[in-house]
Amino acid sequence: MPKGTISILGLGAMGSAIAERLRESGYETTVWNRTAAKAEPHRAAGSNVAATVAEAAAASDLLLVVLLDHASVHEQLEPAAPALKGKTVVNLTTTTPGESRSTAAWAAEQGVTYLDGAIMAVPDMIGRPGSRLLYSGDENAYAIARPALETLGTAEYEGADPGLAELKDMALLTAMYAMFGGVLQAVAMMRTVGVPAVETARDVAAWLGEVVPLAEPTVAVVDGGAYDPAPGQDVHFTRAAVGSLITAAREQGVGADFLEPLMKHLEELAATGRGTADWVSAVEQLKIG
Ligand SMILES: NC(=O)c1ccc[n+]([C@@H]2O[C@H](COP(=O)([O-])OP(=O)(O)OC[C@H]3O[C@@H](n4cnc5c(N)ncnc54)[C@H](OP(=O)(O)O)[C@@H]3O)[C@@H](O)[C@H]2O)c1
């Protein structure tokens, strides 16, 4: 016996993986995709296929939206607003926190119960160990959707602010890209002496494995804000260390573009009498506005 009915809007790589997982978990599914041909394998696998977003909305009280971006979500949902009234919409499309908040405000005006989601997984991971999804927004929507959402991966409710899930997703991705910027810098330095990129990457991975656990004790001071005198490494020391890294890169004929912004902040702290402060006080320099 089906567990319930769910409509899925968007059958790209991620929407398809989600539809498949919900089917294998025993849900009756109705799918819709802009390019209709992509729905055919889902029809063959047992999903109902809706010809329009409004038809998909009429088929289920719970809808999962897995479209490309914020613009495509609004392009598709806005004309279907009357059909969405009274429904619960979980938007799994990647958007910025601000976009999530604006979609939540729009949904509230339409009488739609709205939950925003961020997927910390690739399609192959959906429903498997390691798949983690973050949610924020209407807590009642989360309660309604939770049994289905838990089939996709670990479900974590971040809070009522609809931007929270995307904010955390993007903060974690920011750390990842900054880390990969560092990997590229190391690769650029080592290839000047003929070391293959994969070999450097192996060394970097081993090194990062040792130092990543230090992230938590290193930033603990940020919460109290008692930077000076430094409980950890101070600005003077770190400025000299990062300065050496930049010089070493240049000696090899390589730029240090990913490190220089950090150096700029350390220079500014030192120049304004904060050289004895903990170097992680550089986080305060990131505030804008
Ligand atoms: N793939 C991943 O690893 C991954 C991981 C985490 C989060 N996500 C997020 O999941 C969402 C979907 O990703 P995906 O991997 O499924 O992308 P995808 O394979 O490129 O599929 C994009 C989907 O969006 C639809 N679409 C694009 N523009 C549209 C428009 N204007 N109107 C209606 N439909 C439109 C496409 O429809 P057509 O078939 O008609 O083009 C397709 O169904 C994205 O927000 C992505 O950031 C993906």
The reported pLDDT for the residue numbered 3 is: 77
With beta carbons less than 8 A apart as the criterion, state whether 87 and 96 touch. Answer: no
| Half-sphere CA count of 156, side-chain side, radius 13 A | 15
**Residues 26, 142, 69, 111, Cα dihedral to 10°:** 110
Q: Which protein residue's CA is at the shortest distance from atom 3 of ligand 1? A: 122
What residue spans of 29-90 are helical by DSSP H? 40-44, 53-59, 70-77, 81-84
Write out the two tokens for 192. 């000047």
The predicted structure's pLDDT at residue 2? 57
Query: By the 8 A CB rule, do 248 and 228 touch?
Result: no
Spans in the chain with pLDDT lower than 50: 1
Residue nearest to atom 41 of ligand 1 (CA): 35
Beta bridge partners of 133: 119, 155
Angstrom distance (rounded) from CA 133 to CA 46: 25
Please report the sign of the dihedral spanned by the C-alpha atoms of residue 102, residue 284, residue 188, residue 205.
negative
E strand map for 67-204: 88-91, 113-120, 132-137, 154-159
- The CA 16 to ligand 1 mean position distance, Å, reads 10
CB–CB of 93/64 below 8 Å?
no
Pocket of ligand 1 (CB under 6 A): 10-15, 33-35, 38, 66-69, 72, 75-76, 93-94, 119, 122-123
**pLDDT value of residue 1:** 44
> What's the pLDDT at 35?
98
Distance 71 CA to ligand 1 centre (A): 12
CA–CA gap between residue 103 and residue 113 (Å, rounded): 11
Residue type, 207: W
pLDDT in tens, 62-76: 999 999 999 999 999
